Amino acid sequence: MKASLYIAISLVIAVFAVMPLISSSSIAYMLGLAFIFVVYCVSWDIVAGYTGQVNLGHTVFIGIGAYTTALLSSGRIGMHLPIWITIPTGGAIALLFGLWIGVICLRLKGYYLALVTAVLPLIFIQLANIFSGIFGGYEGFSVGLSRGFSPDISVRYYIAMLFMLVSIAAMYAIVKSRMGVKFRAVRDDEELAEAVGINIVRYKLIAFCISAFFAGMAGAMTVHYRLTVGVDLFDIPLMLAVILSVITGGIGTFYGAVIGGFAIFIAKNWFFRMLADALPVPVSDDLLLYVLLIVLILKMPEGVVNRLEAFLSSRSQ
């Protein structure tokens, strides 16, 4: 079983590695964005799936990482730092915000936690709009081709792919370590976890920091991949797409976020776009995504992969 899993993963990586050689540059570009989107999803799952805190403001980390690197590297505030410094800086500042939001969220539960985290990104969107001289308003701004990873799409594709593989491997190592076990103990029963000597405050904060760091890095990578930054990286539709992906894949399963993130991104940006063009009524790909989310929540609130696993295990018994 274990060996076949490794073979399957190697095969998938091999297929992705040859993709830019056999597909058009627009497909390679989209797949590269999908790699980065997968990191958004997995990093959200660390907090939501593993420690059980439903953070609806994950896009705060993505947006902060993105705007940090864009401002520091593009010369918009008079700084032209190299991107290999500004991208980790974006991740670090997102981490600090993660710590801060984590501290706030320690006190909040249920509806109130959802409310506060849902409102946070909207504050950043409004600020970006009010101080449009710096942040470029709703539209954002371009960082310029010279601030991209490379003018060549396939080089950018491989950088995005490498980033995803390294991030996923790092986060996988974390959730499979003793720390990951403690995260799940906090999620399943806080009082019991505390009783067996797990410092729940510490582990909740660590989860928030890890999640924020990877989301901030991914946000920063997005900017130098697509060359623009905008409030869409903070906005609710992105948050819903991340949630939809993790729910589709199965929350708290790790690989669910990877598969779901990839599937939903491709579905939204390729399949839904074609479907929206083909339908006689004026619908957008976003609209189809929301319909899918509603249907999915109604039909299987526990996630597609979980449902599939339950189905398979009930058959084998």
Partner 1 sequence: MNLVEIVVLGSIIGGIWALVASGFSLVFGVARILNFAHGTYFALGAYFAIVLDRELKYLMPELPSLIFSIIFSILIVGLIGVAIYKTCIKPVRKYEVMVILITLAIALLFEKILLAIFRDTSVSVPFPISGVITVSGIPIPYTRLMALLVAILIIILLERFINATKTGKETIATSQDMEASMLIGIDVEKVYTIVMFLSASLAAVAGILYSQIYAVNPQTALRVLIYAFAIVILGGLGSVRGSIIAAFIIGFMQVTVSIALEARWAEIAAMVAIIAILIVRPRGLMGVE
Residue ranges binding partner 1 (CB under 8 A): 54, 56, 104, 107-112, 114-116, 118-120, 122-123, 126-127, 129-130, 236-237, 240, 243, 247, 282-284, 286-287, 290-291, 293-294, 297-298, 301
CB of 239 to partner 1, least distance (A): 9
Q: For residues 11 and 119, which CB has a smaller minimum distance to partner 1 in the complex?
A: 119
Q: Considering beta carbons, is residue 286 or 309 the nearer one to partner 1?
A: 286
Shortest spacing between CB 106 and partner 1, in angstroms: 9
Residue 161: burial class (beta carbons within 10 Å; 0-12, 13-18, 19+): buried
- By the 8 A CB rule, do 60 and 120 touch? yes
Judge residue 54's burial from the number of C-beta atoms within 10 Å of its C-beta, 0-12 exposed, 13-18 middle, 19 or more buried: middle
Distance of closest approach, residue 290 Cβ to partner 1, in angstroms: 4
Classify residue 228 as left (phi > 0), alpha (psi -120 to 50) or beta: beta
Burial category of 26 from C-beta neighbours within 10 Å (exposed 0-12, middle 13-18, buried 19 and up): exposed
Determine how many CB atoms are found less than 10 A away from the CB of residue 111: 8
DSSP conformational letter for 56: T
Nearest to partner 1 of 107, 315 (CB atom): 107
We find the least distance from the C-beta atom of residue 72 to partner 1, in angstroms, to be: 24
Give 134 or 179: the residue with its C-beta nearer to partner 1: 134
CB of 272 to partner 1, least distance (A): 12
Contacts of 238 (CB under 8 A, 6+ apart): 40, 59, 62, 232
State how far the Cα of 196 lies from the Cα of 303, in Å rounded to an integer.
30
| Minimum CB distance to partner 1 smaller for 162 or for 297 | 297
Give the list of residues 6+ apart from residue 209 with CB closer than 8 angstroms, or none.
Answer: 95, 98, 99, 102
> Whose Cβ is closer to partner 1: residue 91's or residue 121's?
121
Measured from the Cβ of residue 178, the count of other Cβ atoms closer than 10 Å reads: 8
Residue with Cβ nearer partner 1 (149 or 272)? 272
d(CA 232, CA 246): 19
CB of 212 to partner 1, least distance (A): 17
Q: Residue 285 in contact with residue 268, Cβ under 8 Å?
A: yes
- Scanning 46-82, the segments in alpha helix (DSSP H) are 58-74
Q: Measured from the CB of residue 247, what is the shortest distance to partner 1 in angstroms? A: 8
- In whole angstroms, how close is the CB of 110 to partner 1 at the nearest point? 6
